[in-house]
Structure 1
Amino acid sequence: MLAHNLLYTYIASYLQQMRLALRPDTTLLVFGVAALGGIWITGVFIDRALRRLTLASVTLFTVAAAILARRAAVHCARAARDRPVGPRVRGSATQLQTAMGEAAR
């Protein structure tokens, strides 16, 4: 969660340093809308497919983090900037907490 909050705080500097022609307000709006989509998807599927949903979410997050960790990924991000990470990431906290609750039963 700290990493997400740091991203929100320093998004303008990051976009400028990476020389991306994206406005911080638009970037945060797209990310927020995508996050709502991820939360909705989690709500729909969490009771029926918790394990698969959690594994898929964590796997997609790991893949996205690995791609973004490399400077070359910025070029990929430009091509795919309309497909933000939010829907794949935002449900993971709820999924992991629910999985822990289920395991504790």
Structure 2
Amino acid sequence: MTYSSTFIFAAKSFDDEFHRLDQAIARAARCIPGYLGEEAWENATTGQVANVYYWATLDALEQLIRHPSHIEAKAAQSKWLDGYQVVISQVLRSYGDGKLPHVLVPHVTT
């Protein structure tokens, strides 16, 4: 099975502490066995950002949730964010015409 964790947020302003934690979380995610990749999207209309991480197992995803940097950032999020939503999903399939590379292509297909 493949899973995704999507972190959607509206930003206030970011400081050095935010950038330090953001980089630490990304590094931690990439070191977890079962991490498949990530992507980020911005909604041009609302300005909201979505960071999507893909995982081979739910346990791998939960390792990131339990990581000290993630816990620290979650506790301080109101300093930097004007709201957030997290969506944890099971990926049933991923497909396309083959012209766009995507992190899931080698892992999930129809």
TM-score, normalised to structure 1, is 0.27
More helix by share: 1
Kindly indicate whether structure 1 or structure 2 has the higher relative contact order, using CA contacts under 8 Å at least 6 residues apart.
Answer: 2
TM-score, normalised to structure 2, is 0.26
